[in-house]
Each structure stands twice: as structure tokens, then as C-alpha cells.
């Protein structure tokens, strides 16, 4: 089979062009500039009123770190030392030691040369895709909205392939190769863990297809960061085959923000060309410190998380529910949207927060309750959730 080895991205040449035109920037000049904090009164008036406490099984706080005192302490220490906000774009005066320390930790976590922190995972996806500006993007049909939006904004020709189907991807690339110029830049983009189905992309097979046609691979590890050692990319030893690794700090790591990890030219180019980085105030330093602490604590949180996942999945299946996926995300598939809404209402009456997911978020006939157990749930919490599902399912007529 003919190979196409010229579909990559010559980022060093792009950086050289910026150097020649005086447009290349870096973060070094602002290393010594301190941030300042600003405070304001709450404009909302009276504090909200809350009802009885409920058990939340719908959050992305997989490792239970969002309310961890150790993250709060790290954030407080950094707020005291550096400030509560970056104060400006990091390319102006918004760069702080907290950002640099987190980026070094993320690069090590992802076995990459360098990492770059954005204000959110959404900003990381949109900024990266538009900055790379590929000629053609191959996108899994169930990719996150931030990938879809970034792909559209990039101006690329977009090819959507069947969900988690590397053979379909390869066939799509083969068809496109017949009509495409040999020097087109191609980018394959996929989530690693899909948040609604709880399944995992076949990354090795995707990399094989991309290699055949000289394409780059970009993987969004939003729902895998922290939960797996090095993410799915790292777990499967694909760091050298995935060109762009993304993730979020606001799910399992319990903080806020997003990041990109990769080789030096990639990160250097993005900090110059990703508009959602260049023209956005830097991530709040306390959030950066909290995320770094979350990374350090993640390994010890994984065992209790997976214990809760196994307990909840086996209990639901024993009750007769259909549970999709093979990750820490447990989609309990009901089918009919009305039944899913009724089930969610009865679960909430029992003190379990797990809203129904229904079309257009998921396809018709696959309405579901998306469960996400946390490392900090106790065995009693899991049993309470199972008991609620048993009673609610019987009342709705699902069991």
C-alpha cells in the first residue's frame, strides 16, 4: 500500500516564519512579574437556600478531589503567595511559578517534552484545532462538543467516522487519499474515554491508520486524566505515537482548566498561535496549584474509585439493569426518554442525584442514567444508590 509521509505539520517552519516577521513570543520575559489579587462584593444579594443533602452520582469528580482539604490548602497557599488571579494573558504579565510548576508536572505525567495550560479544556480543544488549522480533520462521531466546535472553526474539511471504529477511519482516509493533494495536513481527533457511553477509543488501531496516511493523532483525555496513570495514552504506551495529548484539570483532578502536552515545537507554536491562550487571562494560580496537588494525590485515589465502580456495576447488573461501557462511567441504559426521566425523578426522591440523559445528547432509544461513582463514596453510599435503583426501577416498571 502506498504510504503518505507528508501529511504532518511543519511547526518548526511556522515558528521560523513568526521569528522572521517579529511575531514570535515566549513566556520567559514575564517570569519575574508577580500577580495581583482583586476582590469584589457578591452582586447576587442573599445567599441561596439549599434543601436536604443528597448523594451525587452525576459529577465528573471521579477521584473525589474537588472538595479535598489538601487541594484547598494548596490553592490557599498559592493565593496568599501569588494572588487569586493571573491578572492578564500569560504572554503579557500573567505568567506565574504556579503555572510553570503545573506544566512541568503535566509534561512528566504525559511523558511529553512540554505542556501548556489553558483556562479550560474547551479552550484547549478550540485553541489547538484552530491554531493547527489542518486541511482535513477525521473525527469520531461521538467526540465532545469542544472538538466539534474547534474542528468547525478551524476551517478544515471534516470527515466523521463511525464511533470507535478504526476500520471505518482507515476506509475514510483511503477514500480521501484518492482526491486529496499529497501535501495536505491531516489530523485524526478522538476522545479517549467517551463520557456518555463509558467506552474507550481503540487508540493503537487509530494510530496504525493514521501512520499509513501520514496523519497526526490528537487525543482528548478529559475523562481519563488522573483516573488512569498517564491517561489511556500512557496506559497503552502510545505516548510516542500520539502527537497531541489534551486533558482537563476540572474533572478527576478537582480543579479548573485544561492542558495540551506534546513536543517542544507543538507547545511553542500553540502559545504563539492558539487564540484561546494568547487572548485569554491566564488560569488562576490557585487553580493551577490545586491541580498540581490533585495530580500528586491521584494514584492513591484510584483504588477506592475502582472498588466503587466494580461494586456499583455488579450490583446494577444483578438487579437486571443494562450497564454499558468498561470504564469508571456507568451508563444505565433505559431506552425510552419518559422512563429515564421518571427513573431519575424517583432516584432524586430517594436522595440520589443522577439526572436522565436523553436525545439529542444521546441517540433516540438510548436514554439513560449516567452514573459516575467517586473515590470518596462509601460502601454504604453505593448500597444506598443500589437500593434506590431497585425501588425506583420497580415503580417505573423497568424491573
CATH number at residue 95: 3.40.640.10
Is residue 195 among the annotated active site residues?
yes
pTM for the structure as a whole: 0.89
Say yes or no: 181 and 276 in one domain.
yes
8 A C-beta contact, residue 284 and residue 256: yes
> Which of 110, 144, 251, 328 does the annotation list as catalytic?
251
Catalytic residue among 99, 110, 144, 223: 223
pLDDT of residue 338: 94
Domain check: are 304 and 289 in the same one? Answer: no
Residue 173 lies in a domain: yes
Determine the structural domain holding residue 196 and report its residue range.
68-294
Of the three residues 294, 328, 360, the one that is the final residue of a domain is: 294
Q: How far is CA 264 from CA 59, 118, 151, in A?
A: 34, 17, 23
Q: How many domains does the chain have?
A: 2
Whether 223 is a known active-site residue: answer yes
List all residues 6 or more positions away from 232 whose beta carbon is below 8 Å from its beta carbon: 192, 193, 200, 201, 203, 219, 221, 224
Per-residue model confidence (pLDDT) at position 361: 86
Residues in contact with 272: Cβ distance below 8 Å, sequence separation at least 6, in sequence order: 15, 18, 23, 24, 25, 278
Consecutive sets of 10 residues in the chain, 399 residues long: mean pLDDT of each?
Answer: 69 86 60 34 52 84 97 98 95 95 98 98 98 98 97 97 98 93 94 97 98 97 98 97 98 98 97 97 97 98 98 98 97 96 95 91 94 97 97 96
Lookup: cell for 340: 429515564
Active-site pick, 192, 195, 250, 276: 195
Do residue 135 and residue 244 come from a single domain? yes
324 and 225 housed in the same domain: no
80 given a catalytic annotation = no
pLDDT on residue 219 = 98
Amino acid at each position: 500500500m502506498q504510504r503518505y509521509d507528508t501529511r504532518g505539520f511543519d511547526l518548526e517552519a511556522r515558528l521560523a516564519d513568526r521569528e522572521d516577521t517579529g511575531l514570535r513570543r515566549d513566556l520567559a520575559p514575564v517570569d519575574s512579574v508577580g500577580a495581583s489579587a482583586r476582590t469584589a462584593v457578591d452582586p447576587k444579594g442573599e445567599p441561596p437556600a439549599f434543601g436536604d443533602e443528597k448523594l451525587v452520582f452525576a459529577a465528573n469528580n471521579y477521584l473525589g478531589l474537588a472538595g479535598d482539604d489538601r487541594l484547598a490548602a494548596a490553592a490557599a497557599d498559592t493565593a496568599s503567595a501569588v494572588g487569586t488571579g493571573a491578572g492578564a494573558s500569560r504572554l503579557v504579565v500573567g505568567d506565574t511559578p504556579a503555572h510553570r510548576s503545573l506544566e512541568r508536572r503535566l509534561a512528566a505525567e504525559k511523558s511529553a517534552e512540554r505542556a501548556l495550560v489553558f483556562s479550560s479544556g474547551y479552550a484547549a480543544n478550540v485553541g489547538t484545532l484552530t491554531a493547527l488549522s489542518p486541511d482535513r480533520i477525521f473525527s469520531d462521531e461521538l467526540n465532545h462538543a469542544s472538538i466539534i466546535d474547534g474542528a468547525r472553526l478551524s476551517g478544515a474539511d471534516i470527515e466523521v467516522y463511525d464511533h470507535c471504529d478504526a476500520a471505518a477511519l482507515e476506509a475514510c482516509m483511503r477514500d480521501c487519499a484518492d482526491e486529496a493533494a499529497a501535501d495536505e495536513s491531516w489530523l485524526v481527533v478522538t476522545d479517549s474515554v467517551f463520557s456518555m457511553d463509558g467506552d474507550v477509543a481503540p487508540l493503537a488501531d487509530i494510530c496504525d491508520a493514521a501512520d499509513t496516511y501520514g496523519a497526526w493523532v490528537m487525543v482528548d483525555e478529559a475523562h481519563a486524566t488522573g483516573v488512569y496513570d498517564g491517561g489511556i495514552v500512557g496506559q497503552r504506551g502510545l505516548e510516542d505515537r500520539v502527537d497531541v495529548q489534551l486533558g482537563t484539570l476540572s474533572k478527576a483532578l478537582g480543579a479548573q482548566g485544561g492542558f495540551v502536552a506534546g513536543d517542544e515545537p507543538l507547545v511553542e507554536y500553540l502559545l504563539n498561535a492558539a487564540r484561546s491562550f494568547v487572548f485569554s487571562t491566564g488560569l488562576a494560580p490557585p487553580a493551577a496549584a490545586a491541580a498540581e496537588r490533585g495530580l500528586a494525590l491521584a494514584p492513591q485515589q484510584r483504588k477506592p474509585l475502582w472498588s466503587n465502580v466494580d461494586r456499583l456495576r455488579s450490583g446494577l447488573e444483578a438487579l437486571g439493569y443494562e450497564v454499558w461501557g468498561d470504564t469508571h462511567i456507568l451508563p444505565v441504559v433505559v431506552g425510552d426518554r419518559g422512563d429515564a426521566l421518571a427513573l431519575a425523578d424517583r432516584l432524586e426522591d430517594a436522595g440520589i442525584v443522577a439526572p436522565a440523559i436523553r436525545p439529542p445528547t444521546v441517540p433516540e432509544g438510548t436514554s439513560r442514567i449516567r452514573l459516575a461513582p467517586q473515590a470518596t463514596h462509601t460502601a454504604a453510599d453505593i448500597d444506598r444508590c443500589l437500593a434506590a435503583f431497585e425501588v425506583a426501577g420497580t415503580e417505573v416498571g423497568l424491573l
